[in-house]
Structure 1
Amino acid sequence: MPLLVLFRFVFMLVSLCVFGVAAYLLWNWYDGDLIRQADGDIVRVRTGWFLWAGVGLLGLSFFGRPIITPFLAKPDTDPTAAVRDEGQFVAGASGSKLYVEQLGSPAAPPIILVHGWAMDSTIWFYAKRDLARSFRVICWDLPGMGQSTPASPSAIGLTEFAQDLRTVIGLAGERKIVLVGHSIGGMTIQTLARDDPAFFDAYVAGTVLVNTTYTNPLKTMILSGLAQAIRWPLLEPLMRLAIALQPLVWLSAWQSYLSGTAHMANRLGFGKYVTRSQLEHTTLLSTRNSPGNIDRGNLAMFRWDATHAMARVTPPLLVLSGEIDIVTKPQAGRQIAADRGDTIHLAIEGANHMGFLERSADYNRAIADFAQSLQPTP
C-alpha cells in the first residue's frame, strides 16, 4: 500500500544519511589535519574519535538489524517464515506467468488467498497452515511479486490482476470457491466483481475482504487529505523516479534492510502484538520484491475505484478490519459492508494493517467459520 511504501522510502533516506555521516567521519579521520611543527616538519594529525564514530555508524549501517529488531517486536512463540510449499506455474489470462500453490485435501472446499502489495504468497504462512486442515487452500503470487511475472511492466494493474484471478479460480474445478483478499488482494477481488459480476456469482461461494478499501487508498488512509494534496507534486514524481532508478533504489532498500531502518518503517503497519519473525518476514518481502514493480502497482492503485462493486454481486460477504489500521482505516471496511446491508463486518481488536499476522488466530478463525457456514466440511 502507498502509505507503507512512503514510510519505507523515508526510513531508507535515514539509513543512507547514517551511512553518509559514517563515510564523512572516516574520510575526515583519514585526511586529518596538516600541522607544522616547531622544527618546520609538517605532520598529519588524525582525530581518534572520528575513526571510532565512523566505524560505529558504518557497522550500524550494515549490521544494525539484529540490534534494532529486538526493540521493535516481541519474541516469538510461533514464528513465521518466508517458505514455500511445492507449487506450479500457470499461464494467466493477462499474459502473465503465475506461481500457484495448493494445500490440503483436493476433495475439501476450496479457498483462494490473494496477498497484499509488496508481499507474496508466503505471507499467508499462518493461514495456509490453519485453513489447510479443513479446506483446499490455493494461494498465488500476484504478477510482479514473488515468483509470478507480468506480461510486461505496464501490465501491473488491478484489471490485469482480476483477469489472472479468473485463471486461478479455474484451478478449483467445478466447486464454488471462497475468496480471501488482503489489501490489494481485496481490491483485486472487488475489481473482478465490478468487471464481471455474472462470472463472480457463478463461481464464488463467498468473499472475505481483509484490511482493504473500495477506492484509491490515498482516500482511506490516515492523513488522507495531506496524502491527496501531495499526490501529484510529490508522490507520483517520486515513484516514477524510483522506477527509472530501480537498481539504485533496490540497492538502497537492501542497505536499509541490513541497517534495520526498513524494519522500523514496516513496524508502523503493526499493532502491539507483532513478533520479531512477523516483522522480519514482512520486511524481507518488501525488500526483495522489485521496487519498480511495487511503485507501478501503487500508481495503479491511485487510479482505481470499485465503489459499490460488492453490492452488484450476490455471494455472502465478510469484511474484516484492523481496529487501528492506519493504511486502510476501518471506516473503509464499514463502508463496503454498508453497501450490502447483509454483510458481516468485524473489527479485530488491536490489529493494524498487517493484523492477519499479529492476530492470525482471530482472522483465521473468522475466515474458517465463514467458509464452513457456506460449504460445511466433515
Structure 2
Amino acid sequence: MSFLEHQGRTLCYRLLGDPAKPLMLLAHPLGMNQTVWDEMLPALLGHFRTLTWDLPGHGSSSAWPEQAVTAADLAAEALTLAAVAGAERFHFVGTSIGGIIGQQLLCQAPERLDSVTLTNTGAVIGTPEAWQLRAGNVRARGLAAMAHEIVPRWFGAAAREQQPALLAGWTVAMARGDAHSYAQLCEMLAGTDFRDTLGRPDVPIRLVAGADDLATPPESLASLARITGAPSPEVLEHVGHVPSVECPERLAERLLRHPERE
C-alpha cells in the first residue's frame, strides 16, 4: 500500500505487477474501498499491471475538503495516479461511482484510454432528490447508522442468503468511512448526468450489469450502450451491484477477453 499527496489530500493506492505490462486502473463503488478488487487481482496480474485506490474519505484516503467535489476532480486523481505509474495510456475499470469516473475520462481524456469497462453504473444514477436525501441523512445520522440500510442493497439475493458474513463485513467497512466525504459524493451524483455529453468516443467500451442490481439495473447499462454505441451489456445472473465481490472469477474472465485484447 502506498500514499500520494495530491491537491492537499492523501491518496491511498496499490500499484502491483510487472511495469512492462499494460496498466489497468480499477475504481471502486461508493461506500466501499479498493479491496473490492482483491479476489480478481491474481488473474489480472498475469496480463496487466494494476492500480487500485481509495476514493475520498474511503479506506485510507483522506477526506474531501468543504468545497463541492466533481466528477472532473475524481478523474484528475485517476490521471495523477496513472502518471505515478508512468503510463501515458491505460485500461480503466469502474463500478458504480467508479463508472462515473470512467465516463468523465471518456469525455475529458479519451486519448489516454486503451479501453474502458463500466460495470453497474449509468449515464445518470438514481434521482437528484434521492441523492440529496441520502446526503442529508448521512450528515444527520452518520455512516454507522446508515450502513445497515445501504449495504444489503449492494448484493443480490444469492449473496444475501448464502454469505451473511459478507454483508456484515462490508457494513463495518462502510461505517468506518468519512460521512462528510460520502455526503459530498452523493451530492456529486445528484448533479451528474452524461446523457447529453458522452457521445460516441473512439475507445473500446465494455458494459457489465448485474441481473439483481437494484441501484443500476441492466437497463441502465443498456442505455449507456445506446448512447456510446458500445456493444450491449453482458448481464451477470444472480449478481447485484458489486460483481468484483459477488463473482470475481466471472468478472475477471470478461476483462481478460476484452475486445482490446483479442
CA RMSD, Structure 1 to Structure 2 (Å): 2.5
Name the structure 2 match of 1:319.
Answer: 207
* Equivalent residue in structure 2 for 1:212, among 109, 118, 121: 121
Q: Give the secondary-structure state (helix, strand or coil) at the position aligned to 1:122.
A: helix
- Checking the alignment, whether the CA contact within 8 Å between 1:110 and 1:175 is kept in structure 2 is no
Q: Give the secondary-structure state (helix, strand or coil) at the position aligned to 1:337.
A: helix
Shift of 1:174: 4.0
Change (3 A) 1:111 1:129: same
Between the aligned partners of 2:169 and 2:93, the Cα distance in structure 1 is 20
Structure 2 gaps of 5+ residues are none
Name the structure 2 match of 1:296.
Answer: 184
Alignment of structure 1 residues 1-378 onto 2, 5 Å: 87-92=1-6, 94-150=7-63, 152-174=65-87, 176-194=89-107, 196=108, 199-201=109-111, 203-215=112-124, 217-219=125-127, 231=129, 236=132, 239-240=135-136, 242-243=138-139, 245=140, 249-250=142-143, 253=145, 262=148, 265-274=150-159, 275-307=163-195, 309-370=197-258, 373-375=259-261
Between the aligned partners of 1:317 and 1:95, the Cα distance in structure 2 is 33
Change (3 A) 1:127 1:308: farther
Change (3 A) 1:293 1:150: closer
- Checking the alignment, whether the CA contact within 8 Å between 2:15 and 2:85 is kept in structure 1 is no
- Highest Rg: 1 or 2? 1
Aligned length: 259
Equivalent residue letter for 1:249: G
Shift of 1:213: 0.9
Query: Residue by residue, what CA displacement relative to the aligned partner does 1:295-345 show, whole Å, maximum 9, x if unpaired?
Result: 221111101111255434211000001112110111110111112324352
Shift of 1:133: 2.9
Identity of aligned pairs, percent? 22
Shift of 1:191: 1.6
Between the aligned partners of 1:239 and 1:341, the Cα distance in structure 2 is 33
Q: Give the secondary-structure state (helix, strand or coil) at the position aligned to 1:311.
A: coil
Between the aligned partners of 2:207 and 2:36, the Cα distance in structure 1 is 19
Change (3 A) 1:240 1:273: closer
Shift of 1:108: 1.6
Runs of 4+, deviation exceeding 4 Å: none
